[in-house]
Structure 1
């Protein structure tokens, strides 16, 4: 799109003419090409995705630690007890459930980036306790506190990335979070495989074999903590929300690598302001008695459940998180060595080696997702992935049922089952593994986005908790039925996406109401019309958010005081 066309768009008689297609074309291509051209978005997204790396590393490292000889010796109640192993894994998810919920008010109050910093501190405390654990209590407490930090990170990082990225790169940029998760899982798997040999794999194994993998994760956590203060910018949408408009314009200009008065930057800041002002005016008119941020937050949580279009979005976001976990991916991540042993691959080294292959495939398969989610859309990628995940589970379960008692005589069947575990991981990584993080960041209005993200991610973690707890029990008792169980949920994912999930590819966050019906009512439509007229007048009279302009109406003063 030419500068003249963008300039005409800003001066047009209706904000509606700033369509997603216009802005999408203005910013250029999506996928790899777009990320390379927008090198600063790529850099910031990759740096913030260190949070995803921590998430993946913690998920992966525990699977290898649980089968190490020295760990089993020092924690005998855990090493020989499938139920307690489930709790060692799941207590982290329980902490993450808490962390995802408490991060919403922090993200609104402190900013998206500083909420990530708080999360890093919690994660560091948990990591130190786990690396130095001398008894079960210390191990469990460390995993719970570390989990709180991971829950905050898993909510804060995709929220921040989704708010700094332009519409054409939003899916690809958030997908970098999944790439980082997969990288963390892979590195932790291979680190476990290597450190198991410190002191030997028998009785003489050193405690460093499992303490070192726990301790090394403090390095990326400290790096991200420092970056939150000196590298990552504020989200321009958050800055507009707290009425720091001049800063928002400066940050947006830096993110887009365009001058502040460039028509494209002006168009986007106008769109962001329209969404923020709409949310603020809605709050003022709907909740006239809510004067403090706590009162407003309560009303916003209430609105998420009481307003039909918001409740629909919340259900979709939460159900997608639930289904992501019940595909069984983290059952494989947490208990991969145990699973590979159950399908006939004997010996710790063999099972850990096969587990390491899971990590490599997870990373490799995430790479194409960076290019396809913004080109092909969310729905088709989800459906293809769900279909092949279903096929994988079905074949694994069937092979298990046939050769359960004769793996030793049918090693090829065991390796075939392992191959379909890897095939499952491949299809998970580029589909629901990525899109479950993208979707909740983009479908909610700014005023309730942090609250909705907190609820959705907490559903992910509580589902993760359940999976971590029940998987060793299922593998011990229903065995191959475990894979049929997950097969059923992958089929549910396929059907639900096909018939019920809207496509959000390329739709600006401020225009999501067109998909979900949030602007159908006359009252809401009138409110948006008033805002459009106000912004139209402002854009004709003075440059939007120029250094000399001011916006000091009662609404802005009231909202600024609340923050």
Structure 2
């Protein structure tokens, strides 16, 4: 049984940390009002209104400033988490969130869009840190049998914050011409919860024991989290984990070791594929997409809220489906379905804009709803799969690389999508996503193994099988797992001594 202290710790981190992803979606329903304010501000300052191209480009930077900060935050995750600890790293995160909120609140009265950009940049750093530290803290304070649900809470909180940001950003709520700074500053309130409550919560016992070497303090914290009845068992488990920990593998080793080449490629590819589902563009610009479908502005905003609810509900099913169906089939299903949804979006917007087919706007709405359904069911997979393909030594380093790749592509896509859409038109703006998804699906079909409930030794041999098949010019063989005979032959022929044979990558 877990204690009240554990429950308070988890929900403080979930609400104050995971929900910071709110900042990414809040720009969506408020786009028209804030772009108008930005244009008026620069017209007043320089005497000339912004052109449509410059206005779209500036708004793209407002949206993507979150991703720029998140790239930096992702790179800092390993340092902050090890230097200050998981709990204290999140407290620092909360302080920075409160600090950023004041920039958001000051942007409008000071007539400074630059403050808006800078505040969102700081929020982005916090989101990058959150991407790594929150799951790390949750996994390390949670007994093994509850780690699945604990990890699920993080993903559900992210999905809920996406939807909640669409609600708060409505002009009818806090997204009006006078109140939008409060909508943008809302994560500061979440950060304040971390600052006020988290100092009274325990640090990760694994960090306390493994990094600081404080055995008595670690045991005391375990007792606070699970009670005296289970404390000894959980503490013994932590001691074993720390004893097996060979330290952190370096980035140089990660990129140069041949046996890690395919796992690293796959972990990067799943992140790139996730970004090229178009999720960044849809979450940031779906209101604009609905406006292009000739919806009334108010109806477009509420439609955006509606698809946010759809995404949240289907994201809630993903933990069950990930365990029931498996990572590989669900990931391939999600990517294929998202590609189909983007083809529909491209087709319906083409019919509407170039052939003046009136009913095509309903097709656009259907395609966006369908997109949110299929994206939601597989959305957590890229964020967990990297940690399941590497042993303890390289796990943190590999996750840092994959998160860095995710936020880098999020920045690129959110920055160039609107200018690209203006250049080629709405219907053709989805083509790069479709093309990259087709390529990604082919490569993932060949390279991506199933990682559910498999020990590292087995996954290592699976990767060797795929590598050997590709080297021999037999990609069709690489797409299937090795047979039992092949598995045993590979186990006998490769050196897996650096891997712990009992290190199951996914904790049930």
Q: Which residue of 2 aligns with 1:273?
A: 242
Partner of 2:253: 303
**1:212 alignment counterpart:** 182
Cα distance change, pair 429–238 in 1 and its aligned pair in 2 (3 A): farther
Q: 8 Å contact 1:124–1:146 — kept in the other structure?
A: no
> Given the alignment of the two structures, is residue 191 of structure 1 paired with residue 158 of structure 2, yes or no?
no
The aligned counterpart of 2:155 is 178
Does residue 502 of structure 2 align to residue 525 of structure 1? no
- Residue 485 of structure 1 aligns to a residue whose secondary structure is helix
Structure 1 residues 269-321: Cα deviation after superposition (integer angstroms, max 9, x where no partner): 35413422xx04xxxxxxxxxxxxxxxx7x72222222233444333222222
Q: CA deviation at 1:141?
A: 1.9
Where 2:284 maps in the other structure, the secondary structure is helix
- Asked if the contact 2:346/2:427 (under 8 Å) is kept, the reply is yes
The correspondence for 1:113, drawn from 82, 87, 102, is 87
* CA apart distance, 1:159: 2.6
Contact kept? 1:475, 1:482, Cα under 8 Å: yes
Residue 132 of structure 1 aligns to a residue whose secondary structure is: helix
1:249 Cα shift?
Answer: 4.7
Of 309-318 and 477-486, more deviation after overlay is shown by: 309-318
> Residue in 1 aligned with 2:467?
none
Q: Tell me the alpha carbon deviations over residues 320-363 of structure 1, each in whole angstroms, 9 at most, x when there is no partner.
A: 22221111011011111111112222x32121111111211111
**8 Å Cα contact 2:100-2:185 kept in structure 1:** no
Name the CA shift for 1:354/1:523 in 2 (closer, same or farther; >3 Å).
Answer: closer
Structure 1 residue 488 corresponds to structure 2 residue 435: yes
- How far, CA to CA, are the matches of 2:70 and 2:396 in structure 1? 16
Counterparts of 1:261 and 1:221 in 2: how far apart (Å)?
Answer: 30
Q: CA deviation at 1:245?
A: 4.0
* Alignment correspondent of 1:420: 367
Question: Are the structure 2 counterparts of residues 399 and 261 from structure 1 closer, same or farther at C-alpha, using a change threshold of 3 Å?
Answer: closer
Partner of 2:482: none
Query: CA distance change for structure 1 residues 172 and 476 in 2, over 3 Å: closer, same or farther?
Result: farther
Show CA shifts across 1:473-514 (max 9, x none). 22212221222322233334433443322222235xxx5354
In 2, Cα distance between the equivalents of 1:233 and 1:58?
Answer: 27
2:477: which partner in 1? Answer: none
* DSSP-derived class of the 1:424 partner: helix
Given that residues 93 and 126 in structure 2 are in contact (C-alpha distance below 8 angstroms), is that contact kept between their aligned partners in structure 1? Answer: yes
1:465 is matched with 411
Structure 2 unmatched ranges of 5 or more: 44-48, 464-490, 504-508
**TM-score, normalised with respect to structure 2:** 0.80
Kept after mapping to 2: 8 A contact 1:301/1:451: yes
Is residue 135–residue 154 contact of structure 2 (8 Å, CA) maintained in 1? yes
C-alpha spacing 1:394/1:196, structure 2 compared with 1 (3 Å):
same
Q: Which has the higher contact order (CA 8 A, sep 6+)?
A: 1
Pick the aligned partner of 2:459 from 498, 515, 537.
Answer: 515
Residue 329 (structure 2) aligns with: 380
Aligned partner of 2:320 in structure 1 is 371
Change (3 A) 1:523 1:394: closer
Take 2:95 and 2:157, find their aligned partners in 1: how far apart are those partners?
20
More deviation, 106-115/93-102: 106-115
Q: Deviations over 1:87-137 (max 9, x none)?
A: 111122111101110221111122222222222222322222122112132
Say if 1:266 and 1:49 are closer, same or farther in 2 by CA, change over 3 A. Answer: closer
**Number of paired residues?**
462
Other structure's SS at 1:504 match: coil
Cα distance in 2 for residues equivalent to 1:375 and 1:238: 35
Over aligned residue pairs, what C-alpha RMSD do you find? 3.4
Structure 1 unpaired stretches of 5+: 1-35, 199-204, 281-296, 533-563
Out of 315-324 and 267-276, give the one that drifted further: 267-276
Q: Structure 1 residues 37, 118: CA separation in 2 closer, same or farther (over 3 Å shift)?
A: closer
Q: Which residue of 2 aligns with 1:453?
A: 399
The DSSP-based 3-state class of the residue aligned with 1:63 is coil
From the superposition, tell whether residues 227 and 323 of structure 1 become closer, same or farther in structure 2 (CA, over 3 Å): farther
Kindly tell me: are residues 372 and 269 of structure 1, through their superposed partners in 2, closer, same or farther at Cα, counting changes over 3 Å?
A: same
The question of 1:236 aligning with 2:206 is answered yes
